[in-house]
Amino acid sequence: MTASSITPFRQAVRRDLLLAARHKTEVITALFFFVIVVNLLPLGIGPDPELLRKIAPGALWIGALLATLLGLQRLFAPDHQDGTLEQMALSPQPFTLLVAGKILAHWLVAGLPVVLIAPLLGLQFDLSGRSLWILVLSLLLGTPILSLIGAVGAALTLGVRGSGVLLSLLILPLYIPALIFGAGAVESDLAGLGAEGHLSLLGALLLVCAVFAPWVTTVALRVALE
């Protein structure tokens, strides 16, 4: 990445962050959705601390998964409707770079708050200090994967009828590895097995997604724009 191409990337991120700042309620709603979904589980399952500690990683991770899915529908749709996406495709700067900027902005708005609030919810599930750290670390590595893979789905379903439900159907199966490694990291730490293996696999997955997902998303967006 040369210095000249960093600027458009940064502008793309800035633009989406600015838009999110003008839509604060949407961001906060997604975060509350995460909090409520995770809090419903003890109510449905029972307050036994032993049991809660056991389901905590899965519960928090599935909550994070669903919360990301909420924002994904609006990742490209408004830009598609008002023609911004067309202008981005016509930019002399690489389209992939701008798309990558949008994905990063999505993570900053939808993923990062989830990571930051997760330890608080972990406490409700009786997780101890060390496991909380692993949880945060796994979400920190995992939520960008959710944004990256999700962007591919959002691009594929752009402007298609029933795109919201369709997006979940396409994307959720692809989220499974991230879910397994992410929740597994916390679980194996709880079991005293050490989380390094899971976390490094999650990191590898993140790298692969970071390299390929923006590119595939761009191809899918060009198809949608045609």
Partner 1 sequence: MSRSLINWFKFASPATFYPLAGRVIPFFAAAAVLLLGAGLWTGLAVAPTDAQQGEGYRIIFVHVPASWMSMFIYCVMAFWAALGLAFNTRLSGMMMSALAPTGAMFAFLSLWTGSFWGKPMWGAWWVWDARLTSQLILFFLYLGFIALQAAIDDPRRADKAGAILALVGVVNIPIIYFSVQWWNTLHQGASVSMTKAPSMAHVMLLGMLLMAFGFWAYTITMALMRVRCIILERELTSEWVKRNAME
Partner 2 sequence: MLAVSHLTCQRGERVLFQDLSFDLPDRQWLQIAGTNGAGKTSLLRILAGLSEPATGSVAWNGVPVRANRSAYHADLLYLGHQGALKEELTPLENLTLGLGMEGFATTAPAVRDALTRFGLSGRERLPVRYLSAGQRRRVLLCRLRLRPARLWILDEPYTALDVHAAAVLTEHLESHLAQGGSVLLTSHQSLSLAPGMCITL
Site residues, partner 1 (CB under 8 A): 152, 156-157, 160-163, 166, 169-170, 172-174, 176-177, 180-181, 184, 187-188, 193, 201, 205, 212, 216, 219-220, 223-224, 226
Taking alpha carbons only, the member of 80, 79, 66, 73 closest to residue 32 is: 66
Is 159 a residue that touches partner 2 (CB under 8 A)?
no
Residue 161's binding partner, choosing from partner 1, partner 2, none, with beta-carbon cut-off 5 to 8 A by kind? partner 1
Kindly state the smallest distance separating residue 8's Cβ from partner 2, in Å.
5
* List of residues 6+ apart from 107 with CB closer than 8 A: 143, 144, 147
* 128 makes contact with partner 2 (CB under 8 A): no
The answer to whether the beta carbons of residues 147 and 115 sit under 8 Å apart is: no
Helical segments of 82-162, H only:
84-89, 95-106, 112-124, 129-156
Q: Does position 226 bind partner 2 by CB under 8 A?
A: yes
Give the other-Cβ count within 10 Å of 7's Cβ. 11
Q: Binding to partner 2 by residue 200, rule CB under 8 A?
A: no
Element (DSSP H or E) covering residue 207: helix 196-225
**Which residues, 71 to 100, sit near partner 2 by CB under 8 A?**
81-84, 86-94, 98
In terms of CB distance, is 9 or 95 closer to partner 1? 95
